[in-house]
Structure 1
Amino acid sequence: MKNIWFINEYDLPPKFSKFRRRYDMCKYLIKKNKYNLNIICSSFMHGTGGKHAYSKKEKIEYQGVNVYILKGISYVGNMKRIFSMLIFMMKIIFFKFPKEEKPDLIYASSPHLFAALGALIQAKRNKCKFVLEVRDLWPETWVQIGVIKKGGIIHKFFLFLEKYLYKKADKIVYLDPFFDYMISIGIDKDKIIYLSNGVDLEEFDKKQNLEVHLDKNKFNVTYTGAIGVANNLEPLIELAKLVSDKNIIFNIIGYGPLKKSLMLKVENEQLQNIKFYDPIEKDKVPEVLRQSDALILSVLPIELYQYGASFNKLFEYWASSKPILFFGNIKPDYIKESNSGISVTTNSVNDLKNACLDLYNMSEIDREELGKNGRKYVENNFDWKNLANQVDKIFDELLQGEIKNV
């Protein structure tokens, strides 16, 4: 049995986190009886405004996976978030692996690179393989949403760190099929492997109690997930105003730094056709999606998405067999490619309104057809039951010594 260690600050068990990728991956890897799987994460629940899943350092077992939970630091705001990242990195650097579980491979996942740096240091110390999973292109994401200044000292530092980690990794797992950005900074294409986000359909299809009761007398358009700058929910408020004379209601379920300001705007505008709900546990989300008439996803109009994009909620939306209203210009245009809804790429709220009304006025049979197309698309391409085989192949290649150590 090979010892695999996954490192990601946000990889708490699904009960406490919106991120399921690691646990869906591990669920199918563990069935191969080849790996002893371990996860290191922080106790802090990202996107909750300061809550912790555990009050102290813990080791638990989740579905056969050993989960090491390090005491994290609460944060609100970018400076405190960076401090939290640095503390987590230091805890990774000084983490003592059990002697019987010394790593054969360390698999670090962004979004932030400090944890990956700590993981690389551990990989060198333990003379094991190092895989870097890139979920977001740092620091370009922060530059394009205005968090840091392009060309500034912080930007240059992150560029150096990013390139250093890419160079030192045995393999880079990238969530998007386009490698243009990495190739442009000198990374060997043969080192990069495309492994999309996905969904565990076996888990998704399990019936759960409905925690959010939608108004079934209305046409329900639902959004689930984080409510922050990157989620670009401001256009949804404008859309609600433009279609306020229709029997349409917008449901926003989740939490994030912009939730209060958006709720205040809705209140000031006296909009009656948009409702906010508290976040719900990840396994309760599918039932809400299935109760909706259509699902909506909006992204920022930034150049970075031309390098590719992979949004967790999009796979859940497809799995729910509901039509999708997508607002944003990304590469590839998944909605068009899968014929699972309507995508608006013009950054025009008026065009978004027209697309929303097209779905609203569409026959139920046609909407069902779009939903079925999405379900078929995710079944064929993005079920973790199949995606995990790609991870197994990566591990086999690395652990058989076909690639040099870091």
Structure 2
Amino acid sequence: MKDILIISNYYPPEKGAAANRIEQLALKLDQNGYSVSVISPLPNYPKGELFPEYKGKFSVTEKIENITLKRLWIYPSNSSNIFKRIVSTLSFSTTLFFYLLFAKTPQKVIVQSPPLLLSFTAVFALWIRRKKIILNVSDLWPTAAIELGVLKKNSISHKFLRLIERFIYKKANHIFGQSNEIINHIHSIFPEKKCFLYRNYPDHFIDNVLQEKHNSNEPIKLFYAGLLGVAQGVFELIQELDLKHLNVELHIFGDGAERIEILNYLNHNPNAKIIFHGMLERNVLHETLQNLDIALVPLKTRIYGSVPSKIFEYTALGFPVLYFGGGEGENIVEENNLGWVVPVEDFKGLNNALKQISEVGKEEIQNMKKNIFLHAKSHFSLDEQMKQLIENDAF
């Protein structure tokens, strides 16, 4: 049996796209004959505090769904204080570094990036141990940090992170990129580096989406489900929406830094036609979403290299997408006829799109759902992607 290790900052029971996609990668490798182990911090995301069952422990080893999990100590924090966040990242990075230096680990290792500091620590330790390093790049840092306004271009911090970025690309044996933009960026630095496109395809297709379930008397139910953070900009978005005279309502599922601001806004605007549901377990969320109509996928600004996994996750459930994020994700929605595209930050255009959606009607949306589900099932197959990667010796 082939042994392989995955290093990630997130893993279930933590919630969110990052944890889900790493779990899917681990499970698919297991299904394809690999003996898979995962190293991650003690679960603490998104609240920035250890889950009750892990409190008071320095490390935990457990086996879930045939995956061996090694969870290492972290000082958890989701504080807005940058110093506390750095300390939190450094705490796990330090624990991970010494573990990788001295523990027995497989020869092949997949390292998730970002976080950039964590991936640097892992790659550095693995390089010392002469391991085969497979870097899985989901977003480009520090490029994304500049576009989000978190870093100032050409600052000392920016230059330092660029050095780290170059180091991990250079030392990786080969690289997975979730978008063509990521691969193009890496090739602009290291033209000969072997790269593979690895989309964040889901592993769920619910065939009962093809059943007739719409009620023409109900409003069209748009939903956002995911992290309520700076990059998504949901708080700004809901302030710009004008649903008052439309046959549309918005449902919000999730948690994150903007949660309190969103709740305060909705308390002061009870007629906004926006309903907040909070965070739900993934299986409960998918069950709840079956009664809704269209997935809203926003980004606060166009982030080079970013393709939100929600595009694939929700089209696999049969939902048309209202995409409001620009970049390669916009091209995917348009080229695959998955719904509506609005230029990023164009709130006037967003409200115009909502007017069009309001006039479409539930029956037409149900027809769209069927077509999108069948297209996603045939074009966004995680099993087929894994098969091709294995055949091309990507693992």
Q: TM-score under structure 2 normalisation?
A: 0.88
Equivalence map 1:294-373=2 (5 Å): 294-302=294-302, 304-305=303-304, 308-331=305-328, 332-345=330-343, 347-373=345-371
Contact 2:112/2:119, CA 8 A, preserved across alignment: yes
Equivalence map 1:66-145=2 (5 Å): 66-75=68-77, 76-77=79-80, 78-95=82-99, 102-145=105-148
Equivalence map 1:252-263=2 (5 Å): 252-263=252-263
CA offset at residue 351 of structure 1?
1.4
The answer for the alignment partner of 1:238 in structure 2 is 239
Contact 1:318/1:374, CA 8 A, preserved across alignment: yes
Q: 1:318 to 1:391 in 2, by over 3 A?
A: same
- How far apart are the structure 2 equivalents of 1:194 and 1:117? 21
- How far apart are the structure 2 equivalents of 1:4 and 1:256? 32
RMSD: 2.5
What is the DSSP-based 3-state SS (H/G/I as helix, E as strand, rest coil) of the residue aligned with 2:314?
Answer: helix
Per-residue CA deviations over 1:172-227 (Å, capped at 9, x if unaligned) read 1100023332233x21254221111110025x6699xxxxxxxx944321110000
Match of 2:387 among 386, 389, 397: 389
What is the DSSP-based 3-state SS (H/G/I as helix, E as strand, rest coil) of the residue aligned with 2:355?
Answer: helix
The answer on 1:42 being equivalent to 2:38 is: no
- How far apart are the structure 2 equivalents of 1:195 and 1:201? 17
Contact 1:221/1:293, CA 8 A, preserved across alignment: yes
Contact 2:248/2:354, CA 8 A, preserved across alignment: no
Contact 1:25/1:384, CA 8 A, preserved across alignment: no
Q: Which runs of 5+ in 2 are unaligned?
A: 210-216
Q: 1:58 to 1:91 in 2, by over 3 A?
A: same
The answer on 1:292 being equivalent to 2:286 is: no
Match of 1:16 among 14, 17, 40: 14
Contact 2:300/2:344, CA 8 A, preserved across alignment: no
Contact 1:89/1:115, CA 8 A, preserved across alignment: yes
Per-residue CA deviations over 1:351-387 (Å, capped at 9, x if unaligned) read 1112112112113332123223332332223222222
Q: TM-score under structure 1 normalisation?
A: 0.86
The answer for the alignment partner of 1:403 in structure 2 is none
- How far apart are the structure 1 equivalents of 2:208 and 2:224? 20
Aligned partner letter, 1:117 = F
The answer to which structure, 1 or 2, has the higher relative contact order (CA under 8 A, 6+ apart) is: 1
The answer for the alignment partner of 1:187 in structure 2 is 190
Per-residue CA deviations over 1:262-313 (Å, capped at 9, x if unaligned) read 22223334444112122111222222222102221111233x33xx432122
CA offset at residue 247 of structure 1?
3.9
Q: Which runs of 5+ in 1 are unaligned?
A: 208-215, 399-406
Deviating more after overlay: 139-148 vs 123-132: 123-132
- How far apart are the structure 2 equivalents of 1:277 and 1:51? 23
